[in-house]
């Protein structure tokens, strides 16, 4: 029932790229901004380090694949190849702020980290939130509106990452509970593939950040959020 959720501050890409696979190194090469490179390398290295603990393989031997639900191409929701039973993974990266990864055998998992200021702009609610969510944000006191909005967005993205839809689905078709109420999926209007019960939890990632993890599957997850700095120190 365990879901490991591990967060870290981004580190220099040069210190971690040796852990990555060939496709990851190609993508890293295409990133120009140092902050993007650091977040990418740290997220993928951390995913490999945590995945290695679950599979017993060396981090650099893990094969991380992805298959797009929309076009079938080699991108989209990541998966670890060869696990039996399958080890489900997800990651989120915010340049200069935080990376977070989630690993579990419980079922498809999605994790998301959001910087509050990134979703605090005119017009966001009308496009991204369902009518009930817009009302819940509007009802918040002024000084809690940004953080509440980020909590909602992190929950919605976590669900869409767990199902593999990502933002190909309209985010307003996924409705979650009000920002400071217990996290839960309230309505799924994306398609017929709800995929069973969705368990949702908020993540306390630090000041100015919101986070959430979602797992699709039957049993209630035991979610553990830990700092992964020590894993990266030893890499
Ligand atoms: C997934 C998505 C919601 C994340 O957006 P974000 O908040 O900017 O980024 P995050 O850092 O939180 O997450 C990025 C990670 O999500 C994962 N991801 C990408 N697409 C995903 C999907 N459909 N489902 C689950 N996870 C996905 C990847 O691991 C990615 O990290 P990587 O690029 O380092 O491999 C958004 O990028 C998206 O919807 N992408 C898919 C778009 C798509 O499918 N287009 C059709 C192409 S044919």
Relative to beta strand 98-104, strand 109-115 is unpaired
User: Which pLDDT score is estimated for 186?
Assistant: 94
Give me Rg for the CA atoms of the chain: 17
User: Which pLDDT score is estimated for 191?
Assistant: 85
CA of 141 to the centre of ligand 1 (A): 32
Q: Determine, yes or no, domain membership for 67.
A: yes
Q: Tens digits of per-residue pLDDT, 25-46? A: 999 999 999 999 999 999 999 9
Instruction: Using the predicted structure, report yes or no on whether residue 194 has a pLDDT greater than 70.
Output: no
Q: For residue 74, give its domain range.
A: 2-228
- What predicted TM-score, i.e. pTM, was given to this entire model? 0.97
Total count of domains within the chain: 1
- Using 50, 70 and 90 to split pLDDT, how confident is the model at 195? low
Q: Tens digits of per-residue pLDDT, 86-130? A: 999 999 999 999 999 999 999 999 999 999 999 999 999 999 999
CA nearest ligand 1 atom 45, residue? 168
Q: Determine, yes or no, domain membership for 233.
A: no
Cβ of residue 166 lying under 6 Å from some atom of ligand 1: yes
Q: Closest ligand 1 atom to the C-alpha of 40?
A: 34
Mean pLDDT in residue range 132-147: 96
Q: Determine, yes or no, domain membership for 217.
A: yes
User: Which pLDDT score is estimated for 30?
Assistant: 97
Residues sharing a CB contact under 8 Å with residue 41, sequence separation 6 or more, in sequence order? 10, 11, 12, 13, 15, 16, 17, 20, 28
Instruction: Using the predicted structure, report yes or no on whether residue 218 has a pLDDT greater than 80.
Output: no
CA distance 46 to 73: 24
Q: Tens digits of per-residue pLDDT, 141-186? A: 999 999 999 999 999 999 999 999 999 899 999 999 999 999 999 9
Instruction: Using the predicted structure, report yes or no on whether residue 193 has a pLDDT greater than 80.
Output: no
Q: Determine, yes or no, domain membership for 35.
A: yes
Q: Determine, yes or no, domain membership for 234.
A: no
Q: Closest ligand 1 atom to the C-alpha of 70?
A: 48
CA nearest ligand 1 atom 12, residue? 92
- Measured between its terminal Cα atoms, the distance across the chain in Å is 27
Helices assigned H by DSSP within 17-141: 22-30, 34-55, 124-128, 131-138
Cβ of residue 114 lying under 6 Å from some atom of ligand 1: no
Domain at 193, CATH number: 3.90.470.20
Q: Determine, yes or no, domain membership for 26.
A: yes
User: Which pLDDT score is estimated for 82?
Assistant: 80
Structure tokens at 195: 């995929």
Q: Determine, yes or no, domain membership for 235.
A: no
User: Which pLDDT score is estimated for 42?
Assistant: 98
Instruction: Using the predicted structure, report yes or no on whether residue 234 has a pLDDT greater than 90.
Output: no
Instruction: Using the predicted structure, report yes or no on whether residue 3 has a pLDDT greater than 60.
Output: yes
Relative to beta strand 2-8, strand 98-104 is antiparallel
Average pLDDT, the chain: 94
CA nearest ligand 1 atom 26, residue? 77
Q: Tens digits of per-residue pLDDT, 65-92? A: 988 888 888 889 999 988 778 999 999 9
Instruction: Using the predicted structure, report yes or no on whether residue 196 has a pLDDT greater than 80.
Output: no
């Amino acid at each position: 029932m365990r879901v490991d959720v591990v967060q870290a501050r981004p580190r220099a890409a040069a210190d971690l790229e040796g852990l990555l696979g060939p496709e990851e190194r190609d993508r890293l090469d295409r990133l120009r901004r140092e902050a993007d490179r650091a977040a990418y390398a740290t997220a993928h290295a951390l995913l490999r380090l945590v995945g290695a603990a679950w599979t017993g393989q060396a981090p650099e031997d893990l094969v991380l694949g992805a298959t797009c639900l929309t076009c079938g191409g080699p991108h989209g929701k990541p998966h670890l190849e060869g696990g039996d039973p399958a080890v489900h993974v997800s990651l989120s990266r915010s340049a200069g702020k935080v990376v977070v990864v989630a690993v579990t055998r419980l079922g498809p998992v999605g994790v998301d980290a959001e910087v509050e200021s990134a979703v605090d702009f005119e017009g966001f609610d009308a496009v991204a939130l369902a009518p009930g969510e817009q009302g819940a944000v509007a009802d918040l006191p002024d000084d809690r509106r940004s953080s509440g909005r980020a909590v909602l967005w992190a929950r919605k993205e976590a669900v869409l990452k767990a199902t593999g839809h990502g933002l190909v689905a309209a985010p307003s078709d996924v409705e979650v509970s009000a920002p400071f109420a217990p996290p839960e999926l309230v309505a799924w209007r994306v398609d017929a593939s709800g995929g069973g019960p969705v368990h949702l939890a908020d993540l306390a990632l630090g000041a100015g950040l919101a986070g959430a993890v979602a797992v699709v599957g039957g049993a209630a997850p035991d979610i553990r959020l830990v700092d992964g700095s020590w894993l990266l120190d030893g890499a």
